[in-house]
Every structure is written in structure tokens, then in C-alpha cells.
Amino acid sequence: MTRRRWIADEVTGDRAALVGEHAAHLVRVLRAEIGQEFDIATGDAVRQGTITSISDDRVEFALGLVREVKATPKMTLVLAIFKFDRMEWAIEKCTEIGVARIIPVIARRSDAHLAAAAGKRHERWQRIVRQASEQARRTAPPEIATPVKLRGLAGDVVSGELSTRIVLAETEEDARLGEVLQSKPTDVALAVGPEGGWADEELAWFREAGWTSASLGSTILRAETAAIVATALALDALRCP
């Protein structure tokens, strides 16, 4: 039987703990009991954990055997901000699929009210990726950055340390994403625009920064659908030998 996996909030030697709402869910909803065993992700490993103490806002584990885990592909999703319920669904599903990092971006076509409120959603997004990571039995949640404007993208996403950088466009002149990924990349940064896509000047900025534009074909997809489909294709390419 496959054990449920939890991502520890605290780890010290051979002990770990869940705290706050994280622990409350295990105690109140799942009716945890002392002696129950789960898989506990500790950041750099997954270990067998046995519950040793329980309170309303804290569950402690004794850590035992180390479980074998696979490395997470090096995949960054640059996701333009759009309607929060659909955007957060995309964040959840792309986390389950296996993205390593998510960078929310304020695009020209992002609604001004959503752009203004996005910074206050960061804590919620962190909860979403942690819960989705536990659901998918990941060893750790993806990093999710605070929202930035497009020209605020920095570090390895722009500097070139990620060798394969792709921006989704909606023009039939661009190569299909699957064709671009046939090069068998070792890492990918993928940029997905808001409803209506990236503005022309934004696509020009990406191209000037060395990004390759690609499309998902002639069918126009919702932003969240495009993000999930493109992420799945990219991760499949990264996992292929």
C-alpha cells in the first residue's frame, strides 16, 4: 500500500513535525493516531515517519528508512497573471505534473485589479503548491516567486543559464512546441501569456532576450489549458533519455 506523503515544516536530525493548519488537517480531517506511518519529505530526502505525538496544531514524527526518489526536472514556468481561480487551478495542476519553479508575471493584458492584488496572493499560492506537491507525492513544492513585471525577470531565466527558453505565441508562423522540444533539452523555461496572449511588444522583448517562440497549434486555448498542456509536453521532453 502506498503511504501518503507529507512535506515536513520542521526537521531536526531523526525527527520532523507538521505545524499549524498543516498539522490540523492531519489531526482533525484524517484522524491521525500515534503510531501511524507516513512518508515524510524532509527537503533533501523522503523518509518513513512514525507519529510520536499529536496536538491540535503540531504532529511529530520519528524518522526511519530513507525512500528512493527521482530528481525533479529543471522546469521553470513563467505564468502571466489572469483570473485568479483559473490561474490557481493551473498552478495546482502544473505543480502536480512536476514543474520546479513558477514565476507569476504582470503582463500588459493582465487585468489591472488582478495585477494590483497579485502580491497578496503569494501566501495562498505557497499553500496551493505545498498541498498539490503532497497530493502528487513530490519531495518538495516548487519555488513560487512573488509577482514581477515582465521586464523584472532576472537571473537564470534571462541570463541564459537555462539553455532552452520558450515563449508561447498564437501565430501559425511559429514552430509547434513539440518540434522545438525535439532537441531533448536538459532544462526548460516556458512563458505562458494571459487571456489574449502576449502583446506584440512583449513577444519582441522575449525574442530580443533570446527566447524561442512556439505555438500549440491553430486552436486557441484558455490560458490555464495552454499552461498545463505546454508544461506536460516540456516535462515529458525533459524526462525522456
Domains located in the chain, CATH noted = 5-67 (2.40.240.20), 74-239 (3.40.1280.10)
Dist CA 95 CA 239 (whole Å) = 16
| Cβ atoms of residues 176 and 215 within 8 Å | yes
Per-residue pLDDT of 219-228, as tens digits, reads 888 999 999 9
Dist CA 98 CA 133 (whole Å) = 8
Dist CA 216 CA 148 (whole Å) = 25
Taking the model in full, what pTM does it have? Answer: 0.83
> In terms of pLDDT, which residue wins out, 87 or 139?
87
As a whole number, the mean pLDDT across the chain is 88
Mean pLDDT across 20-32: 85
| Cβ atoms of residues 217 and 176 within 8 Å | yes
Whether pLDDT at 214 is above 90: yes
Dist CA 110 CA 82 (whole Å) = 6
Q: Lowest-confidence range among 71-75, 154-158, 168-172, 201-205?
A: 154-158
Residue 221: all three cell numbers together? 486555448
- Residue 23: predicted pLDDT: 87
Expressed in angstroms, the distance from the first to the final Cα of the chain is 29
> In terms of pLDDT, which residue wins out, 19 or 152?
19
Could you tell me how many residues make up the chain? 241
